[in-house]
Amino acid sequence: MVQLKVNGAARSYDGDPEMPLLWYLRDELQLTGSKFGCGMGLCGACTVHVNGEAARSCLTPMSSAAGKEITTIEGLSPNGTHPVQRAWQQANVPQCGYCQSGQIMQAAALLKQKPKPTDHDIEQAMSGNICRCGTYQRIRQAIKMVAAEKVEVKA
């Protein structure tokens, strides 16, 4: 049995240990903010935090989630007031919105690790998250807005 915490709540899973974390979150817990994109960890739509680090939930087997703390977009801030979420709204980042939860989770992890990221830091951290609508300039703008706010980012 896999014991883990999801958005602060203790959970247990007694199924296939190789099932991707993404399917557990979406199908078992009904946390549908993390999206299925490519299934190969290349697009970033499924990004969640595992012990505070950005991770691709489509590639993370349940067995490796054992004993870990998982944070999804729903757990980042239940009411959308996380600094990154606020900046996303202010910069009008989303178009179709499909990739945005993964983008936000990746950006929150970056800002927790590097509160004042350089352009290079932003490019490196966000390069694995694909936005088919091409909102990359607004994503960069939102990340810089949070960095300029001088607020602590909790991932």
The first and second tokens of residue 141, run together, are 């703008």
What pLDDT score does 153 carry?
A: 58
Q: How confident is the model at residue 129 (pLDDT cuts 50, 70, 90)?
A: very high
Report the predicted TM-score, pTM, of the whole model to 2 decimal places: 0.93
**Mean pLDDT value across residues 47-69:** 98
**Whether pLDDT at 150 is above 70:** no
Largest CA distance in the chain: 44
Q: Which domains does the chain have, with CATH numbers?
A: 2-74 (3.10.20.30), 83-149 (1.10.150.120)
Residue 113 in contact with residue 54, Cβ under 8 Å?
Answer: no
